[in-house]
């Protein structure tokens, strides 16, 4: 039996994957993985996701250069969510040019942008 068989894939054969900076602990992003994406992530030592919108594998950083080098994988107690601890190249994980996709904070009933843009997306893509 393979480690892939221990996972409770959803009805679409997907698994939520949370990318976390291995050094700082900051949550960088959430994406989806299918069986092939997870297996390739392990084999290539870099984060590879399944793009639901494009319906294809997505090697993080293939266009931007902001690769996520795999440090560690952790499966939750229900076997239905994975945390990918990574070394985030260039300290940018979000397509908006920020370190994290979670850059908005709820304050006084409104979402406030609290993290700065490191690099303009026009200069990335």
In order along its 125 residues, the chain shows pLDDT tens digits of: 799 999 999 999 999 999 999 999 999 999 999 999 999 999 999 999 999 999 999 999 999 999 999 999 999 999 999 999 999 999 999 999 999 999 999 999 999 999 999 999 999 98
Q: Distance between CA atoms of 47 and 17, rounded to whole angstroms?
A: 10
Using alpha carbons only, give the angle 59, 84, 115 rounded to the nearest 5 degrees.
85
Q: Which pTM does this prediction carry?
A: 0.94
Please tell me the total count of domains within the chain: 1
For residue 106, the model assigns a pLDDT of 98
Look at residues 29, 19, 33 and name the one whose alpha carbon lies nearest to residue 98.
Answer: 29
Residue 46 lies in a domain: yes
Does residue 58 lie within any of the structural domains? yes
Q: Range of 22's domain?
A: 3-91
Residue 117 lies in a domain: no
pLDDT confidence of residue 125: 87
Identify whether 98 is part of a domain.
no
Which residue, chain included where needed, has tokens 């698994």? 15
Q: Rounded to the nearest 5 degrees, what angle is found at the Cα of 38, between the Cα atoms of 33 and 40?
A: 125
Residue 52 within any structural domain of the chain: yes
């Amino acid at each position: 039996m393979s480690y892939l068989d221990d996972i409770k894939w959803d009805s679409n054969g997907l698994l939520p994957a949370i990318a976390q900076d291995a050094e700082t602990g900051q949550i960088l992003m959430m994406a989806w993985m299918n069986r092939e994406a997870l297996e390739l992530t392990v084999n290539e030592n870099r984060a590879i996701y399944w793009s639901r919108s494009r319906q294809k594998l997505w090697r993080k950083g293939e266009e931007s250069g902001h690769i996520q080098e795999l440090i560690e994988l952790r499966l939750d107690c229900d076997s239905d969510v994975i945390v990918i601890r990574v070394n985030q190249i260039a300290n940018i994980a979000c397509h908006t040019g920020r370190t994290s996709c979670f850059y908005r904070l709820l304050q006084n009933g409104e979402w406030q942008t609290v993290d700065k843009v490191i690099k303009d997306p026009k200069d990335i893509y």
